[in-house]
Structure 1
Amino acid sequence: MGDNVSGFEHISTDDLRERAVELARKRWDLRFFWRLLGLIPAAEAAAGHMDSSEASVAQASGLFFEALSAEDDPELQEALRPVYVQYLVDNEEG
C-alpha cells in the first residue's frame, strides 16, 4: 500500500467501507466491486471462516449473494480494511 495510508488509521473499518463503497458507486467503479467479490474468499480465510474460503467458480452465484451481505460480518470487514484504505488513497479527490 502507498505511504498515504497512515491518515486512515483513526477511521473505523465501517466508515472506511462506507466511504470506499460510496466513492465506487459515484464513479460506477465496477472493477472495485469485482475486486471485492474476488477477495472475499481470502478475507473469509483471514477472518477464520475456513469453510467459506473454499468457494469455487461453480459457487459464484452464492458468493455474489454473500458479497451483498458481507457488510454484516465485522471480522470479514476487518480483513477487507486494507482494500478500502488503498481504494480511498488511490481514488479520493484531495
Structure 2
Amino acid sequence: MTTPSFAELDALPTEVLRERAFAKAREHHDVKFYWSVLQHLPDADEAASLDGAPNSIGPTVDEAVALFRELDGRDLGEQEPLLRAAFIDYLGRQ
C-alpha cells in the first residue's frame, strides 16, 4: 500500500480525511492520535480544566468521549483547518 501524496489528501473533504485518519488510528490502536485531535476541539478547554483530583477521572473520561462524539458529522468551525492539517499529516505517514 502506498502512502497518498499531500495533493491527493488535500483534495479530499475534511469528513473523508477524518474517517480515514480515525480508521488508521483504530487499526494501529493509536490513542495518542485521538488524544491530540481531542485537544484541538473547541470544547477541549472545559475537559482540561478539571482539577485533577482522583475522583475527577470519571468526568475527564466522560468529557473526552463527548468531545470525540462531537467530531462525527459536526461543523468544526475555526478548528477545521488545524484538524484537517492533522488528519493529512497523520495519513501521510507510513
Q: Compute the TM-score of the two structures, normalised by the length of structure 2.
A: 0.66
Alignment RMSD, CA only? 2.2
Give the share of equivalent positions with the same residue, in percent: 23
SS in 1 for 2:71: helix
Distance in 2 separating the partners of 1:19 and 1:25: 10
| Structure 1 unmatched ranges of 5 or more | 45-51
The answer to which structure, 1 or 2, has the higher relative contact order (CA under 8 A, 6+ apart) is: 2
More helix by share: 1
Q: Deviations over 1:23-79 (max 9, x none)?
A: 000000111011111121xxx2xxxxxxx4642421744244122222221234734
Question: TM-score normalized by structure 1?
Answer: 0.66
| Correspondence 1:2-81 to 2 at 5 A | 4-40=5-41, 44=42, 52=43, 54-55=45-46, 56-58=48-50, 60=60, 61-76=62-77, 78-79=80-81, 80-81=83-84
In structure 1, distance between residues paired with 2:45 and 2:32:
23
Aligned length: 78
Moved over 3 A (4+): none
